[in-house]
Amino acid sequence: MDIFYLKEENLFNFLKTLESEYEVFVPQKSEGKLRLCPFGFEVSHTEYILKEISSVDKENFSYNPYRTIEPLKSFFISTREPITEYFESAFEREQKPRVIFGMKNCDLFSLKIQDFVFLEGVVKDPFYERRRHQNILISSDCFLFKEVCFCTALGIMPYAQEGFDLNFSEVTSGYIVEVGSEKGAKVIQNNYRYFNPATPVQIASCNKKREKFVSNLNQHLILHDLVPKEIIPQIVKEGFNSGVWQELVLNCVECGGCNFICDTCHCFLLSDERFGKINEKIRSWDACLYANFAKVAGGANPLRYRYQRLRNRYLKKFDFFVENLGLLACCGCGRCIEVCPAKIDIREVLKKLAQQYKTQKI
């Protein structure tokens, strides 16, 4: 597909133009200090939050160097929403198409998991399908990483290769804009005045930047000595009866934060509510760390204990999805590490399982 160049000073105006047709979400900076990680790398504690462009002015708008706080899934499956009315069938809840700017490759990867859940199988989810069809995803390359980032350890690049409509890469005083879909091509076509064809020099500079960043991130990850992705399914499965789960779950307060913030977690709960004569089914995000997640009416609860629920989260990601989709359902975004008040760190959980696995094998 085609590659274009957009001048830096035109970025905000371009996004603003899209407002006529779409609800446009862009990152806003929430400033934090640069700090040194334990390995001496300068890491940022600035966060980026997606806001509707109407509430963001040019000064607050920020081209995010790494992923936003919120996971991309929230644009396709709402935290809580009515999904049907009964026994009336006139229910048609339109949502204005959205443009989401600043998604990273970890988010795009995770959308593969969400697509598998909501677009494949017994039936397509009509809400997800419509939003997926109408929303525009504009991703961008990472050029800084957070301490918790570990995408490349899972074989996921810090720049988008597929699954985007448009992708932005920062180069001198502007951006290389790659078109990834028909939808993306149309957006460029309709706003052609902002774009120029990218020059080979610009493209080469973009590729060089990517290479340099990947090597930088990898150096950081080498020091973390992470578990190789190839053995993750095995150590999780073989570690079923390991004491690691009990040990690490001790501080868990069952907030469900790791589930909700996770780019690939997708579980939801249906509930029923009555509003006068109309009944609604409500769909809400659910968390497998919650005590009643698997409980049945008769009282049986296969996930009765917290350690079983922690283990369940890992089995789902590293066994269920590997078996059914051939993918590890983790994108290395590190959101669950940052959100956990008990400091349960997925990198450490896997390391402990790997250590135990090795000693058992010896």
* Cα–Cα distance for residue pair 56/358, rounded to 1 Å: 52
Cis ω before 87 (30° cut-off from 0):
yes
User: Alpha-carbon distance 121 to 125, whole Å?
Assistant: 10
**Dihedral (CA of 38, 39, 40, 45) sign:** negative
Helices and strands: H and E segment counts in the chain? 12, 13
Residue 34: HSE in the Cβ half-sphere, 13 Å Cα cutoff: 6
Per rule CB under 8 A, count of chain residues that contact another protein: 48
Closest distance of CB 133 from another protein, Å? 16
From 316, 317, 347, 352, residue interacting with another protein (rule: CB under 8 A): 316
Site string for another protein, 87-116 (x = CB under 8 A): x-x-x-------------------------
Q: Does 272 bind another protein (CB under 8 A)?
A: yes
**The pair of three-digit structure tokens given for residue 356, joined into one six-digit string:** 């135990």
* 123 vs 362 by CB, closer to another protein: 123
Q: Is 74 in the site for another protein (CB under 8 A)?
A: no
Query: By C-beta, is 108 or 288 nearer to another protein?
Result: 288
Q: Is 356 in the site for another protein (CB under 8 A)?
A: no
**From candidates 38, 297, 326, 343, binder to another protein by CB under 8 A:** 297
Place of tokens 């204005």: 96
Examine residue 29 and tell whether it contacts another protein (CB under 8 A): no
- Which amino acid belongs to residue 309? R
Q: Are 293 and 309 in contact (CB under 8 A)?
A: yes
**Quick check: 39 binds another protein (CB under 8 A)?**
no
The encoded tokens of residue 154 equal 């899972």
| Residue in 122, 230, 359, 361 binding another protein, rule: CB under 8 A | 122
The residue among 91 and 192 lying less far from another protein, judged by its C-beta, is 91
Quick check: 269 binds another protein (CB under 8 A)?
yes
Q: Mask 139-178, x = binds another protein (CB under 8 A)?
A: ----------------------------------------
The DSSP result for 271-337, as a single string, is EEEEETTEEEEEEEE--TTSTTTT--TTS--TT-SHHHHHHHHHHIIIIIHHHHHSS-S-----HHH
Exactly one of 51, 295, 306, 351 binds another protein (CB under 8 A); that residue is 295
In the complex, the residues that contact another protein under the rule CB under 8 A are: 83-87, 89, 91, 117-118, 121-123, 125-126, 240-241, 266-274, 279, 281, 283, 286, 288, 293-302, 304, 308, 312, 316, 319-320, 323-324
